[in-house]
Amino acid sequence: MIAQVTNFFIADVMVALNYVTTIVALGAFLISWREVRRNNKAIVRLKDFTTSISGKVASLNVCIENRGIALQAVAMTLYFRGPKKSGYANLSMQLVDYGHRLQGTFLRGTTAEFVLSTADSKDMDLLRLMHEPKDQEAAICLWNNAYLVRDFPIYRRCDRLRKLWNSLSIRLLRYRRVGEGVEGKGVFKPVALPRFIDRPKQFDQFLEVAGRSSAR
């Protein structure tokens, strides 16, 4: 009887070890695949997309992070189609910050920030052609040596779901006590669900100021 129980126990342990080994092997494969992909492909992530307004001037700020191979002579443009999708326009965005410069190389793990300002009258003249930014497929495009690396559409199909998630994140905001504070009143840290960058909202604010600027 004891021998049978021991055999069953050993069999269960061996099955559990097989599961653990399989999971570890799968995890190692995924990590290796990710590193190989990063070392052989251009991978960029949009970290920030915001509009800042100072008086009558608005600035569209875009920050990206390189997670793949190193890029050379990077540039960014605001792309959109013409009225009734006739032709297209590319507005150059100024490079503000190039993290860890190395002879113009955009290295993996570094960030680059670009800006488009309504203070540039030439760009604002082109923006007058943008009446329906969603239908005109407005997007932010990243270039490497004049070759397109990736485009980030400003208006996407699931924007409503993203707004709903952001609203839910605000409602579920909680505060966690992390210290005693003055007179034992406590120090609290906000804890919330991660939120999506609201590209349409930020871009609409930029266009609103751009429209006022071009009207003057």
* 178 and 140 in a common domain: no
* 150 and 51 in a common domain: yes
What does the CA dihedral 87, 91, 92, 94 come to, rounded to 10 degrees? -170
Residue 74 near residue 142, CB atoms below 8 Å: yes
* 113 and 50 in a common domain: yes
* 35 and 49 in a common domain: no
* 54 and 5 in a common domain: no
* Positive or negative torsion for Cα 114, 117, 121, 123: positive
* 112 and 169 in a common domain: no
pLDDT for position 31: 60
pLDDT for position 63: 93
| Distance between CA atoms of residues 142 and 46, nearest Å | 10
Condensed to tens digits (0 to 9), the pLDDT of residues 93-139 reads 988 865 545 456 788 888 889 999 888 777 777 888 888 888 899 99
Domain of residue 17, residue span? 1-40
* 85 and 25 in a common domain: no
In this structure, of 50-54, 73-77, 111-115, 181-185, the range with the lowest mean pLDDT score is 181-185
